[in-house]
Chains A and B, each alone.
Chain A
Amino acid sequence: MNANNQHSKLQLKNAANAALASILNLTLLPVIGFIALYLIYKKTTPNNIDHYHAVLGMKINIIAAFVLFVVSGLMILLGGFNSPWTWVYVISYFTIVHTAFIVIALWALVRSWSGDKLKSNQ
């Protein structure tokens, strides 16, 4: 059913840890989570499932950081710190987009447990 048996135990473990670090960086442990993720990434070699999940996690987090902070920052810059409307947009935007990234990272974690990539290769 899944590609479990093609990966070594260690690779699976690394993949799961990478996916976990990615979620932690998005939620409880920002920055620290990313450092952990980077350290796991360094241990992996290309074309393996752990490498895939480490890179995926880093991509998700870099994109998330950009989309969340840069766009929110722009909203505040353009809208003005003291305008109530700025905060209407920033808070709604940040909450919903942040959750979307967490849900994607959750799915990645679940896929890493079964040794799969985010999307199944047909």
Chain B
Amino acid sequence: MKYESQGIAKMYFIAAIGLFVGQILFGVTLGLQYVMGDFLFPAIPFNVARMVHTNLLIVWLLFGFMGSAYYLVPEESERELYAPWLAKLMFWVFLAAGVLTILGYLLVPYATLAEMTMNHLLPTMGREFLEQPTITKIGIVIVVLAFLFNIGMTILTGKKTVITLVLITGLIGLAVFFLFAFYVPDNLVLDKYFWWFVVHLWVEGVWELIMASLLAYVLIKVTGVDREVIEKWLYIIIAMALISGLLGTGHHFFWIGTPDYWQWVGSIFSALEPIPFFMMTLFAFNVVNKRRRDHPNKAAVLWALGTAVMAFLGAGVWGFLHTLAPVNYYTHGTQITAAHGHMAFYGAYVMVVLTMISYSMPIMRGQKAANERAQVLEMWSFWLMTVSMVFITLFLTGAGVLQVYLQRYSETPLPFMVVQDKIEIFYWLREVAGLVFLIGLLLYVYSFFAKGKEVEDIGAAVTS
């Protein structure tokens, strides 16, 4: 660790991992409720558990992004963080807001929560992923603004690199698009429009910039490849992400009461969206192929390559699968969507945060890389989580294809719940895969405590 203030990332990462465990515990609960409808009812109904699952995901990814930025920016800018105290303070504010909100979801009925938090003054509650009480949303804005100010000043007063510029652009975009969460028109069509301006423009727009810059940073560190090469890639990737992603929003405007032309605009531009993900894979493979040295942190290299492949698979391939209007006509809002949502979120954003953690955590703990046994365990957890996510996706895809066929395609369509009964086997299988995922995650947590033989920093040139 070159700068002391980079160490602030550690508390962010610990919180992120803690909330990640929570997210998955609720995930397996949901999975069980799918097949045993009254499991934990009425204590934790499905809709509440679902809200906790998705909100925890978003919150811990934000912790992960912030921690990553606090680690990366000082080193790139070659100076200490502008205001370390602010970063520490905001950590506790964000954690308190997050935990209180989750407790609110679990302990009081949602409508009561809305009343308690005076939602009527500025109603913003009730939209998927953005269910937080208005006051929590305001808290998020404050935390994010303080965060942007902090790393923005660090970048402005320090050395500017392409990586930090791409990162801050992505983070500013994240903040700006979140503002649409405060605008909830009464007209349901407009309401959906603005909801997608947050959700889609995040994951298929500005978050891609964050992802590309984090990946580029770790790849430079673990391969020793020249910056110039990496910077050229970054430019093309972000250009492709924005060109395809902005108008690609149209793939959510096919059937919500919007004009017809969206079917063309959405189909064409979103069909280009796999390209930036494809390029990230190409980029990661290329850099690792040209590496100047073998970094002792093998786990981090594995995570970086895994991110590149899984993001392409989840976002690129599974996204393309249902993005053309004539296909989406049948698949809209089915298990195909859930299959894609899981693999894309995991492959892109979960994995890129875990890549950053894998690279930086040992350094913050005073080692170049984790000890051999810890790395082996971490790599096991990589495979357990990644393979089980592939299976979750496959089972949901199977469920989705059957659902589409029986409920929407067949000449004698069956009612929703009748179909759900017929595809139950897939939900059982998904639950089993989910439990394996949980085991992988617990192993991941354990790997931080595993003792073993320290790795030597050979730093040797690659001989092949």
Interface residues of B in 391-440 (CB under 8 A from A): 394, 397-398, 401-402, 405-406, 410
Q: Is the interface of A mostly helix, strand, loop or mixed?
A: helix
Q: Which residues of A contact B286 (CB under 8 A)?
A: 110, 113
Closest beta carbon of chain A to B178's beta carbon, Å: 32
Q: Mark A78-119, 1 if CB is under 8 A from B, else 0.
A: 000000110110011001101100010011011101101000
A91 CA to B409 CA, complexed, in Å: 15
Report if A120 contacts B (CB, 8 A). Answer: yes
Q: A99-B313, A110-B285, A110-B286 in contact; A92/B464 too (CB < 8 A)?
A: no
Would B461 and A1 count as touching, CB distance under 8 A?
A: yes
A91 CA to B405 CA, complexed, in Å: 12
Report if A47 contacts B (CB, 8 A). Answer: no
Would B317 and A88 count as touching, CB distance under 8 A?
A: no
Report if A5 contacts B (CB, 8 A). Answer: no
Would B285 and A106 count as touching, CB distance under 8 A?
A: yes
Report if B309 contacts A (CB, 8 A). Answer: yes
Would A110 and B289 count as touching, CB distance under 8 A?
A: yes
Q: Which residues of B contact A96 (CB under 8 A)?
A: 390, 394
Q: Which residues of A contact B390 (CB under 8 A)?
A: 96
Would B282 and A92 count as touching, CB distance under 8 A?
A: no
Q: A99-B313, A114-B289, A122-B464 in contact; A106/B281 too (CB < 8 A)?
A: yes
Closest beta carbon of chain B to A107's beta carbon, Å: 6
Would A109 and B401 count as touching, CB distance under 8 A?
A: no
Would B402 and A84 count as touching, CB distance under 8 A?
A: yes
Q: A95-B321, A106-B282, A106-B285 in contact; A84/B401 too (CB < 8 A)?
A: yes
Q: Which residues of B contact A114 (CB under 8 A)?
A: 289-290
Report if B153 contacts A (CB, 8 A). Answer: no
Report if B108 contacts A (CB, 8 A). Answer: no
Closest beta carbon of chain B to A104's beta carbon, Å: 11
Closest beta carbon of chain B to A110's beta carbon, Å: 4
Q: A114-B290, A122-B464 in contact; A91/B281 too (CB < 8 A)?
A: no
Q: A88-B402, A92-B401 in contact; A120/B282 too (CB < 8 A)?
A: no
A99 CA to B401 CA, complexed, in Å: 19
Q: A95-B317, A106-B281 in contact; A87/B405 too (CB < 8 A)?
A: yes
A84 CA to B464 CA, complexed, in Å: 49
Q: A106-B282, A107-B285, A111-B289 in contact; A120/B464 too (CB < 8 A)?
A: yes
Would A103 and B464 count as touching, CB distance under 8 A?
A: no
Which chain B residue shows the least CB distance to A107?
Answer: B285
Q: Which residues of B contact A106 (CB under 8 A)?
A: 278, 281-282, 285
Would A92 and B405 count as touching, CB distance under 8 A?
A: no
Would B464 and A91 count as touching, CB distance under 8 A?
A: no
A40 CA to B286 CA, complexed, in Å: 23
Q: A91-B397, A95-B397 in contact; A109/B317 too (CB < 8 A)?
A: no
Which chain A residue shows the least CB distance to B274?
Answer: A27
Interface residues of B in 268-322 (CB under 8 A from A): 278, 281-282, 285-286, 289-290, 292, 309, 312-313, 317-318, 321
Interface residues of A in 26-64 (CB under 8 A from B): none
Closest beta carbon of chain B to A54's beta carbon, Å: 20
Which chain A residue shows the least CB distance to B289?
Answer: A110
Which of A85, A106, A111, A120 is most buried by chain B, counting CB atoms within 10 A of its CB? A106
A114 CA to B463 CA, complexed, in Å: 14
Report if B462 contacts A (CB, 8 A). Answer: yes
Closest beta carbon of chain B to A3's beta carbon, Å: 10
Given A84-B402, A95-B321, 6 other A-B contacts at CB below 8 A?
A1-B462, A96-B390, A98-B317, A114-B289, A116-B289, A122-B464
15 sampled A-B residue pairs with Cβ under 8 A: A2-B290, A84-B410, A88-B402, A91-B401, A92-B401, A95-B321, A95-B397, A96-B390, A99-B317, A106-B282, A106-B285, A110-B286, A111-B289, A113-B289, A114-B290
